[in-house]
Amino acid sequence: MPLQHAVLALLKQRPSHGYELKAQFEETIGPQWGGLNIGHLYQILERLVRDGYVTRSQVAQTDRPDKNLYTLTPAGEAEMHAWATTAWIRTGGFRDEVFLKLLGAAALGTQALAALIDTQRQTYLSELAGLAQQRRAHAAEPLVALLIDAAVAHTKADLALLDSAERHLSTMAAERGVQKPRASAAERRRSAMGGAGGEPGRKTGPWSDSA
């Protein structure tokens, strides 16, 4: 569980209480990861205490309620070391809503596909501009800057994917965009009857049987 092990890594530096861990995580990782929910953090700490990776002790405070101080145990340090030195393996595949949008746009035809690719490209370019600003703001924070660099590389790859989608899906979108509309139920009934005013099973052409 990544957050659980990240908390162990923070506690490796020094014992901390809950809100201090939250602030330390957000400062260390930076804005790309997002905030850490304090309720979720306390659930993680409860599990770590239960599993013997962390101990909890109370520290008295004169002007406010006592606080819980969490300390890494030798078992917790061993668990964190095993996790931190083992390669990460992707297990869930690639799931990105953009792929589903490309499926829908290609089914609608070339205009819809071009509209999606254009607006998505502009979105990615705006993201890159924002990431460049973040990168300048956090240039002195190595871990934060590294995560921003990863976000930049990912977004550039997304842009390249749009170019590839444009090449690979345009023919399919063109074919689907010119499909004839399906006949209505009334039109299908008229066709089965041999024409707009015909009767089932009776010829209505010039070589029809005389009355």
Section 44-56 average pLDDT: 96
Q: How far apart are CA 185 and CA 29, in angstroms?
A: 60
CA pair distance 49, 58, nearest whole angstrom: 14
Label residue 211 by pLDDT band (50, 70, 90): very low
Q: What is the pLDDT of residue 137?
A: 92
Is the pTM of the predicted complex or chain greater than 0.75? Answer: no
- pLDDT category, 174, cuts 50, 70, 90? confident
Confidence of residue 195 (pLDDT cuts 50, 70, 90): low
Structure tokens at 148: 């921003």
Nearest to 158 by CA among 114, 127, 112: 127
What percentage of the chain carries pLDDT values higher than 70? 82
The Cα–Cα gap between 76 and 51 comes to 9
Tens-place pLDDT, residues 14-28: 999 999 999 999 888
Give the whole-angstrom CA distance, residue 133 versus residue 64: 40
